[in-house]
Chain A
């Protein structure tokens, strides 16, 4: 095992544990994450594997295959983040609106009429 493999494995496992801990216990999310960790670890340990897979798909290099996979994953992750942000926007709007409605001040119309009369 060359040093880079050891370092990458440790990093991947570390990140994986970190995110699993922080994620809400959604089975699907965890499953995806677990698969991601395992797959990446396998590729790190058996680099020749990526070349073989790449050839199966008709891509030249293993690195290219990993790059494409990574690109897809990034797009997926960005969409998830975007959806979360939108959901937060929605919830924040509800909260702000509720606060505004609860602290509404009604006009003191009688007072105003009287003072307007005396102004004239």
Chain B
């Protein structure tokens, strides 16, 4: 297929959303994404709350892991499903409301145009975003403690601790894969079907983010970083206090480096 002739076919562009215990916000998040008109694939990673039931009420493709395997595994399941449904482009999107559905077309554009195989969302690329639609703040957002971007309590800024954590991921990826990104740990990505088919995701848990980059390096896939907005709310801050994840990631990656292999191949 001549990639420069690709049209952006919304029906062949799938949005994969792995979800774990996001019952509080899942419907708000899904409603935003559904509006774009592309098929949405939700992968419930063994949630213990009613995430699955709530997602089932909406017009989405819905899969469920009977046990919790991790975000990496849920993503891999979603990718495999989307490919089997004939996806030409696959977007990965977080279920906790941190990502804005309005940013999806900007992530898809370079892939649809055939410029790159992979588009990686980055919250650290500066852009004034004034040419982009502002997100519609649902009523539930106010409850969650989000504000408009114009408020002084700007929900789009990154806290210092988080910035340090994220930049460490960047440095780690840069030193091991020689790929220097501005944001190595962002779940907002777009893949061409070709890239999605080749990428082998074996890390089930948080180390999958670094594995994606290492796969891009291994397969020599063309990529680009696209600025995206991150919406920090009280809800996502609560879930974001996972400094211990950094230790887990490092341990998993050390294992990968020492044994030269990955888990769950």
Contact = CB atoms under 8 A, between A and B. Distances in A.
Interface stretch (A37-45, A64-72, A98-106): A98-106
B66 A109 contact: no
Interface residues of A, number: 21
Contact of B67 (A94, A96, A112): A96
Interface string A93-119: 110110111011111110111000000
Given A97-B80, A99-B66, A104-B81, A111 B263 contact: no
Nearest to B67: A96
Contacts of B66: 96, 99-100
A56 to B, nearest CB: 34
A93 B59 contact: no
A92 B265 CA distance: 11
A109 B61 contact: no
Contacts of A111: 59
B227 interface: no
Given A89-B204, A89-B264, A93-B204, A100 B59 contact: no
Question: Is the interface on chain B under 10, 10 to 19, 20 to 34, or 35 or more residues?
Answer: 20 to 34
Contacts of B81: 101, 104
A93 B69 contact: yes
A63 to B, nearest CB: 32
A21 interface: no
Closest A-B pairs by Cβ, 6 of them: A112-B59, A107-B59, A93-B264, A90-B264, A105-B62, A100-B63
Interface of B: 34, 39-40, 43, 56, 58-67, 69, 73, 76-77, 80-81, 84, 202, 204, 263-265
23 contacts: A86-B263, A89-B204, A89-B263, A90-B202, A90-B263, A92-B67, A93-B204, A93-B264, A96-B66, A96-B73, A97-B65, A97-B77, A100-B64, A100-B65, A101-B81, A103-B64, A104-B62, A107-B39, A107-B58, A107-B59, A108-B59, A111-B59, A113-B59
